[in-house]
Chains A and B, each alone.
Chain A
Amino acid sequence: PHTNKFAVALLDDSVRVYNASSTIVPSLKHRLQRNVASLAWKPLSASVLAVACQSCILIWTLDPTSLSTRPSSGCAQVLSHPGHTPVTSLAWAPSGGRLLSASPVDAAIRVWDVSTETCVPLPWFRGGGVTNLLWSPDGSKILATTPSAVFRVWEAQMWTCERWPTLSGRCQTGCWSPDGSRLLFTVLGEPLIYSLSFPERCGEGKGCVGGAKSATIVADLSETTIQTPDGEERLGGEAHSMVWDPSGERLAVLMKGKPRVQDGKPVILLFRTRNSPVFELLPWAGPQAELPTSRCTLSMPSFHVLAQCLGGPRNPLLGVEALFMTCPSLLRHPQPLPLGTLSQGHHLFCPTPHIPTS
């Protein structure tokens, strides 16, 4: 999260770490590293990577100044607990102290203290395991989505949770505002973005999630037709994943590819947001808007597109330049492989695709 590095997991059960400032690509292999499902860089550290494998979690401590391309297995710590396999989702606390892990087989989320290799299970509920964990940037709340039409929001002080049944499907994706007071999420099968606010502040020593009574719809992404200089364009559909910029000013939504929309190519929609004093979600206004200067970091699960927005006035029409990197040779994994957060990386391919401003 602080440097220009990213990690890619490959089908041959190895993980490669690419660095913007060096050409060395360390390849991480371990006999327990099989069927990697998730990768997460530890915040507040130079290069500690958590890898979720079939039977355990591996914590790789890489020396940032080392020149080796095959770090030894001694750099990896093994965290395992009987019954908590396969591990599919990982989330580091923003303060760097704790790691949460979830498995579809084990209904309990486990909180790990990595250095003592001990874990504590959170109270579990029936109804399937946990598919995805998302920590709010201020470290106070965690979103835990399940395969059923329910998601839970945990608070990180006394570890109690609130249960949110959705109307029609499981929670597809979510993202937190930087101060942890608002959660935007989408539901599978609906082209809408919902917002859930958490207005209450808890008393000292008590744990409360403090969610509002119900979620409100803030955006409708249904298909529409817009007029552009090149002709008619169709846009809209369901969101695949969403990411909120760390400064809280921009929201990027990756739309699922649909045949009638943009010839099935995935598309990113950008919105301008403001969280205080009142929440606002506006489409990107184009060159008249303030040109973005901050970096927008995204974590996008997608198996054939890795997208990254650079802040910088490169394209006067759009105000932003997007970079697409396709790596068909690396992955043929049937499921999307979530990766850790990307920072500014290099340019590997530079087409400038059309980003619609709606």
Chain B
Amino acid sequence: MATAVSRPCAGRSRDILWRVLGWRIVASIVWSVLFLPICTTVFIIFSRIDLFHPIQWLSDSFSDLYSSYVIFYFLLLSVVIIIISIFNVEFYAVVPSIPCSRLALIGKIIHPQQLMHSFIHAAMGMVMAWCAAVITQGQYSFLVVPCTGTNSFGSPAAQTCLNEYHLFFLLTGAFMGYSYSLLYFVNNMNYLPFPIIQQYKFLRFRRSLLLLVKHSCVESLFLVRNFCILYYFLGYIPKAWISTAMNLHIDEQVHRPLDTVSGLLNLSLLYHVWLCGVFLLTTWYVSWILFKIYATEAHVFPVQPPFAEGSDECLPKVLNSNPPPIIKYLALQDLMLLSQYSPSRRQEVFSLSQPGGHPHNWTAISRECLNLLNGMTQKLILYQEAAATNGRVSSSYPVEPKKLNSPGLSHLVAASFTEDRFGVVQTTLPAILNTLLTLQEAVDKYFKLPHASSKPPRISGSLVDTSYKTLRFAFRASLKTAIYRITTTFGEHLNAVQASAEHQKRLQQFLEFKE
């Protein structure tokens, strides 16, 4: 989850989380809700499809849009989207958790928080399916309909019957909501990968939209198929329960019962249920994508606080305190961007404080980066020792921050060769080189372990980002590039840096491009 662990810091970290991410969350929810009318319009147009009378089809659709009850459904659907978005916000993670066995996977699914997530999603799915069924009109709109069959023994008063189609709709909605929640956790959709390149938000959204719609159509088809099978075997349970609870009769003469093969092969019903599924999945995926895009957008943390009150948000402070993980990631991402693209902010990092002449900014930033890298080395060493004693060890692999970290640090060091006027970097250069080389040794040893160097097969073109599976390779590559960056910039001057003999030898190999 997103919040920090200890009580006194919880308030302050929630505070900074809200300050940095607050408007982003709200903006993404607002845009998801604004996207809803477009989706609903398209849904209405497709649900009234009538290829033989196109003009009438379009005019009927638009007249339906302007009727008053549609406003009510917009509001209801907006509430649903807001609830789903809140769940996105509460459940995101910046570190992917990769269960290493089937048992662990099952354990993840039946965790109480995940159960609540699934239950709420199933309920929301049912609400959306109800809206969709009512908007579709025709024979799917109402749960309870007057019976049309004649019954010579029955009273002249009309009896009420269960509209099984409507029930089928509602149950499909619940099933789709539950499946969405299940797939969300199995595919680690709550993981927020940081983008390869920075782009304007609208461009990122436009690029994903087509893929998203295609994916929803296909997934809806699979879910409808699975649900039909489930209903065939177990459909009589809800039917019986509802009809006895609400004292309804089941009208066998108007339509065949749906838990038979002939009943289920009703093409019109299947089409409308599939369309409802596409509508539901598209709107939910859109809210998920908008949240991802907004949350991973680069945030500019000021290096020097302009006023005393703003000091909580400045970069060195954020890196050194223990903020919620996403804030730390955003700070590291900002560090990486500033080290590559902003000479003016780099000057601020290399500057000395007034009075006193201490390089506070650089010390804070470099200390935090080195801590992260050293922590990583320790973890790798422990992992190797554990693996040496008992086979596979499961753990989540928090590589993302380190991956952002090493390029940022090395760019800063390389830039300091020309831009650092006071020599603040040179005192820490031995420590940096030491840390990077030790980490590189640990990584090389890790990759010699049997299962570490196997790459999972890549599925291209899918909606879900599976890049977390290959993060360790990305980390190794970026670490090597970082060391090369420092050696190529400093060149032979590196021989003057204090380092142990073994590290000197490795540096020499890097200088000669033999690594």
Q: Does B268 sit at the interface, judged by CB under 8 A?
A: no
**When the two chains form their complex, are residues A80 and B460 in contact, meaning their CB atoms are under 8 A apart?**
yes
Within the complex, which residue of B345, B478, B484 is in contact with A115, where a contact is CB–CB below 8 Å?
Answer: B478
Within the complex, which residue of A46, A81, A98, A158 is in contact with B196, where a contact is CB–CB below 8 Å?
Answer: A98
With contacts A118-B467, A157-B341, A204-B342 known, is A111 near B196, CB below 8 A? yes
Write the A37-64 contact mask toward B (1 if CB under 8 angstroms, else 0): 0000000111100000000000000001
Q: Please indicate the chain A residues that have their CB under 8 angstroms from the CB of B484 in the complex.
A: 44-46, 96
Q: Does B474 sit at the interface, judged by CB under 8 A?
A: yes
Nearest CB on B from A341, distance (A) = 14
**When the two chains form their complex, are residues B460 and A81 in contact, meaning their CB atoms are under 8 A apart?**
yes
Q: Please indicate the chain A residues that have their CB under 8 angstroms from the CB of B475 in the complex.
A: 115
Q: Which residue of A lies closest to B480 (CB)?
A: A45
Give the CA-CA distance A86 to B341 in the complex, in Å: 33
**When the two chains form their complex, are residues B341 and A120 in contact, meaning their CB atoms are under 8 A apart?**
no
Q: Does A2 sit at the interface, judged by CB under 8 A?
A: yes
Q: Does A95 sit at the interface, judged by CB under 8 A?
A: yes
- Consensus secondary structure, chain B interface: helix
Q: Does B22 sit at the interface, judged by CB under 8 A?
A: no
Nearest CB on A from B194, distance (A) = 11
Q: Which residue of A lies closest to B476 (CB)?
A: A115
Tell me which residues from 1 to 52 in chain A have a Cβ below 8 Å from any Cβ of chain B: 2-3, 44-47
Q: Which residue of B lies closest to A117 (CB)?
A: B458
Q: Does B514 sit at the interface, judged by CB under 8 A?
A: yes
Q: Please indicate the chain B residues that have their CB under 8 angstroms from the CB of A140 in the complex.
A: 341
Write the A147-190 contact mask toward B (1 if CB under 8 angstroms, else 0): 00000000001111000000000000000000000000000000
**When the two chains form their complex, are residues A116 and B474 in contact, meaning their CB atoms are under 8 A apart?**
yes
Number of interface residues of B (CB under 8 A): 39
Give the CA-CA distance A121 to B206 in the complex, in Å: 12
Q: Which residue of B lies closest to A201 (CB)?
A: B343
Give the CA-CA distance A2 to B481 in the complex, in Å: 13
Q: Does B300 sit at the interface, judged by CB under 8 A?
A: yes
Tell me which residues from 309 to 354 in chain B have a Cβ below 8 Å from any Cβ of chain A: 337, 340-342, 344-345
Q: Please indicate the chain A residues that have their CB under 8 angstroms from the CB of B470 in the complex.
A: 115-117
Q: Does B407 sit at the interface, judged by CB under 8 A?
A: yes
Q: Please indicate the chain A residues that have their CB under 8 angstroms from the CB of B340 in the complex.
A: 95, 139
Nearest CB on B from A339, distance (A) = 19
Q: Does A316 sit at the interface, judged by CB under 8 A?
A: no
**When the two chains form their complex, are residues A123 and B513 in contact, meaning their CB atoms are under 8 A apart?**
no
Give the CA-CA distance A159 to B340 in the complex, in Å: 15
Nearest CB on B from A198, distance (A) = 15
Give the CA-CA distance A139 to B200 in the complex, in Å: 19
Q: Which residue of B lies closest to A112 (CB)?
A: B196
- Consensus secondary structure, chain A interface: loop
Give the CA-CA distance A158 to B195 in the complex, in Å: 12
Within the complex, which residue of A45, A117, A158 is in contact with B481, where a contact is CB–CB below 8 Å?
Answer: A45
Write the A103-133 contact mask toward B (1 if CB under 8 angstroms, else 0): 0000000010111111111010000000000
Write the A72-101 contact mask toward B (1 if CB under 8 angstroms, else 0): 000000001110000000000001111000
Q: Does A328 sit at the interface, judged by CB under 8 A?
A: no
Within the complex, which residue of A64, A116, A204 is in contact with B467, where a contact is CB–CB below 8 Å?
Answer: A116
Nearest CB on A from B297, distance (A) = 10
Within the complex, which residue of A80, A95, A114, A119 is in contact with B485, where a contact is CB–CB below 8 Å?
Answer: A95
Q: Please indicate the chain B residues that have their CB under 8 angstroms from the CB of A157 in the complex.
A: 198, 337, 341
**When the two chains form their complex, are residues A95 and B411 in contact, meaning their CB atoms are under 8 A apart?**
yes
Q: Please indicate the chain B residues that have their CB under 8 angstroms from the CB of A214 in the complex.
A: none
Nearest CB on A from B471, distance (A) = 7
Nearest CB on B from A350, distance (A) = 27
Tell me which residues from 489 to 506 in chain B have a Cβ below 8 Å from any Cβ of chain A: none
Q: Please indicate the chain B residues that have their CB under 8 angstroms from the CB of A44 in the complex.
A: 481, 484-485, 488
Within the complex, which residue of B300, B467, B471, B514 is in contact with A46, where a contact is CB–CB below 8 Å?
Answer: B514
Q: Does B465 sit at the interface, judged by CB under 8 A?
A: yes
Q: Does B298 sit at the interface, judged by CB under 8 A?
A: yes
Q: Which residue of A lies closest to B203 (CB)?
A: A123
With contacts A45-B481, A96-B484 known, is A111 near B473, CB below 8 A? no
Q: Please indicate the chain A residues that have their CB under 8 angstroms from the CB of B480 in the complex.
A: 45
Q: Does B385 sit at the interface, judged by CB under 8 A?
A: no
Nearest CB on B from A140, distance (A) = 8
Give the CA-CA distance A80 to B514 in the complex, in Å: 29
Q: Which residue of B lies closest to A155 (CB)?
A: B341
Q: Please indicate the chain A residues that have their CB under 8 angstroms from the CB of B471 in the complex.
A: 116
**When the two chains form their complex, are residues A64 and B341 in contact, meaning their CB atoms are under 8 A apart?**
no
Give the CA-CA distance A111 to B480 in the complex, in Å: 20
Q: Which residue of A lies closest to B460 (CB)?
A: A81
Q: Does A65 sit at the interface, judged by CB under 8 A?
A: yes
Q: Does B199 sit at the interface, judged by CB under 8 A?
A: yes
Q: Which residue of A lies closest to B484 (CB)?
A: A44
Q: Please indicate the chain A residues that have their CB under 8 angstroms from the CB of B485 in the complex.
A: 44, 95-96
With contacts A44-B484, A115-B473 known, is A97 near B407, CB below 8 A? yes
Nearest CB on B from A6, distance (A) = 14
Nearest CB on A from B393, distance (A) = 23
Q: Please indicate the chain B residues that have their CB under 8 angstroms from the CB of A80 in the complex.
A: 460
Q: Does B461 sit at the interface, judged by CB under 8 A?
A: yes
With contacts A44-B485, A80-B460 known, is A118 near B196, CB below 8 A? yes
Known: A46-B515, A121-B207; 6 extra A-B contacts, CB below 8 A, are A3-B513, A44-B488, A45-B481, A96-B485, A111-B196, A207-B198
Give me 12 A-to-B residue pairs in the complex whose CB atoms sit less than 8 angstroms apart, sorted by A's number.
A2-B513, A3-B513, A45-B481, A46-B513, A98-B196, A98-B197, A111-B197, A115-B474, A118-B467, A121-B207, A158-B200, A205-B298
- Of all A-B residue pairs in the complex, the 4 with the closest CB atoms, nearest first, are A115-B474, A115-B477, A44-B484, A116-B467
